[in-house]
Amino acid sequence: MFELKPMLSALWRNKVSAMLIALQLALTLAIVSNATAIVQDRLTSMARPTGMDVDNIIAITFMPVPKDYDMAGAVRADLDMMRSMPGVVDASVTNHIPVSGSGSASSFYLEPNAQIGDLDGNYYQTDPHFINTLGLNLIAGRNFSDDEMHVIGSNESFIGSVIIVTQQFADAAFPEGDALGKFLYHGSKDNPMEIIGIVERHLGAWPSWALAGNVVFHPLLVEGNHKRYLVRTEPGQRDAIFKQLEDKLAERDPQRVIHLETLSEKLASTHVSDNIMVKVLSAVMTLLTFIVALGIVGLTIFWINQRAKQIGIRRALGATRANISRYFLVENSLIAGTGLVLGTAGALIINQLMVSEFSQPVLSLTILAVCAILLFAVSLAAALMPAMRAANISPAMATRSI
């Protein structure tokens, strides 16, 4: 037996305060649901499988000092030395460390000399050992052979004739699933690059990039730039090998500056900004929800004090305690419901903006519904204590105070 009609007309006479609370809830829902979408997106992106044996890989960067340094020779000697170390599974050279947050991307085309229809892909210049070193899973085709590996000077331009791609990239380029043996081109160039192999997964340089996982591998060593090695050890050997490597690399060539990191450290530091984002947004959401709850408590107490006499009258006319608490809870639900309907619209509008202007994730209706239900529960909980207090107002209030 809800007194909806008279309740609504009474609310209408107090519409300013009611609207304030409703708007506060609307804004909270709009912000909290969008923030939740972002948090969820970040959490999923952080939880995304990398495709690599992250825990057992050491990443090494070295910067050659002298001008005419024999890069190719040094790389060959370093790799041979590292591969022969007991406990090392394999080692390979690469232009960038995966999941490190730094890398290169380029546009790939299905036709030569094309201007449109490009596909963005993260690319690596590496060697035939990269599959084994990263622990990737070759699901179709073959690995690079040693004679497909090219070494070029830093000023030379060269496009190889073979590439290996991730399955995700293969599917993006050839949705029919027949990528193997097909060709890709760099824009305004007509050198075909044949897809000779497909690896199941490689997350690439930027785990939170929208296209993370679109990766292309070239068998190429460009001299002169910084070079990086990746070394995969037997499980449990990583830290021991790490120490040996520092000494052995310095011993082999003391001239250069060497920097070693584990790939898991790299991945963690790449996630730092996402982690901070998640923490900041969670704090903002908690704070907002708390503030809106306080607002509701405050307003409900204010209204109850304002209507103490009226509550006494209702009690005198036969309202039970339960009738009184229920009145305020239903009233609160009406306000909250209005606010949450407005907030749903607001959330969707804000999300459109976030998607188009800041390439943030699309807000799912599930998240929106869950946030709305939670906020509704919070607002009910906030009104509960004042509503119970209202029920304790004595019916004698009707006769005592004028």
CB nearer to other proteins: give 191 or 394: 394
Stretch that binds other proteins, among 114-122, 132-140, 311-319, 376-384 (CB under 8 A): 311-319
Q: Given the structure tokens 């193997």, which residue do they identify?
A: 180
Spatial separation of the C-alpha atoms in residues 24 and 1, rounded to whole Å: 29
Strand, helix or coil for residue 204: coil
Spatial separation of the C-alpha atoms in residues 285 and 3, rounded to whole Å: 34
Shortest Cβ distance from residue 11 to other proteins (Å)? 8
Interacting positions 349-388 with other proteins (CB under 8 A): none
Three-state SS for 115-172 is: CCCCEEEEEEEECCCHHHHHCCCEEEECCCCHHHCEEECCCCCCCCCEEEEEHHHHHH
Contact 375, 32 (CB under 8 A): yes
Shortest Cβ distance from residue 317 to other proteins (Å)? 4
DSSP conformation class of 55: G
CB nearer to other proteins: give 48 or 309: 309
Stretch that binds other proteins, among 34-42, 167-175, 181-189, 313-321 (CB under 8 A): 313-321
For residue 63, CA distances in Å to 227, 242, 265 come to 7, 18, 20
Shortest Cβ distance from residue 298 to other proteins (Å)? 20
Query: Is 44 near other proteins (CB under 8 A)?
Result: no
CB nearer to other proteins: give 9 or 115: 9
Amino acid identity for residue 179 in this structure: A
Question: Binder to other proteins among 123, 192, 323, 380 (CB under 8 A)?
Answer: 323
CB nearer to other proteins: give 10 or 138: 10
Interacting positions 256-275 with other proteins (CB under 8 A): none
Stretch that binds other proteins, among 77-85, 153-161, 183-191, 305-313 (CB under 8 A): 305-313
Stretch that binds other proteins, among 50-58, 81-89, 212-220, 316-324 (CB under 8 A): 316-324
CB nearer to other proteins: give 47 or 402: 402
Query: Is 86 near other proteins (CB under 8 A)?
Result: no
Spatial separation of the C-alpha atoms in residues 37 and 362, rounded to whole Å: 7
Spatial separation of the C-alpha atoms in residues 321 and 150, rounded to whole Å: 86
Question: Binder to other proteins among 67, 317, 358, 366 (CB under 8 A)?
Answer: 317
Shortest Cβ distance from residue 18 to other proteins (Å)? 12
Query: Is 238 near other proteins (CB under 8 A)?
Result: no
Shortest Cβ distance from residue 354 to other proteins (Å)? 41
Query: Is 9 near other proteins (CB under 8 A)?
Result: yes
Contact 56, 215 (CB under 8 A): no
Question: Binder to other proteins among 129, 228, 238, 314 (CB under 8 A)?
Answer: 314
- 3-class SS shares of the chain: helix, strand, coil, % to 5: 50, 20, 30
Nearest-5° Cα angle at 190, 186 to 193: 60
When computed from its CA atoms, the radius of gyration of the chain, rounded to whole angstroms, is 32
Contact 205, 123 (CB under 8 A): no
Shortest Cβ distance from residue 23 to other proteins (Å)? 21
Question: Binder to other proteins among 244, 310, 360, 364 (CB under 8 A)?
Answer: 310
Question: Binder to other proteins among 309, 330, 355, 389 (CB under 8 A)?
Answer: 309
By DSSP bridging, strand 150-152 and strand 183-186 are unpaired
Question: Binder to other proteins among 319, 341, 354, 384 (CB under 8 A)?
Answer: 319
Counting Cα atoms < 13 Å in the Cβ hemisphere of 139 gives 14
CB nearer to other proteins: give 264 or 310: 310
By DSSP bridging, strand 193-199 and strand 138-141 are antiparallel
Token digits for 223?
A: 């001299």
Contact 169, 121 (CB under 8 A): yes
Shortest Cβ distance from residue 3 to other proteins (Å)? 6
Question: Binder to other proteins among 116, 175, 318, 356 (CB under 8 A)?
Answer: 318
Query: Is 398 near other proteins (CB under 8 A)?
Result: yes
Query: Is 19 near other proteins (CB under 8 A)?
Result: no
Residues that bind other proteins (CB under 8 A): 1, 3, 5-6, 9-10, 13-14, 309-310, 313-323, 394-396, 398-400, 402
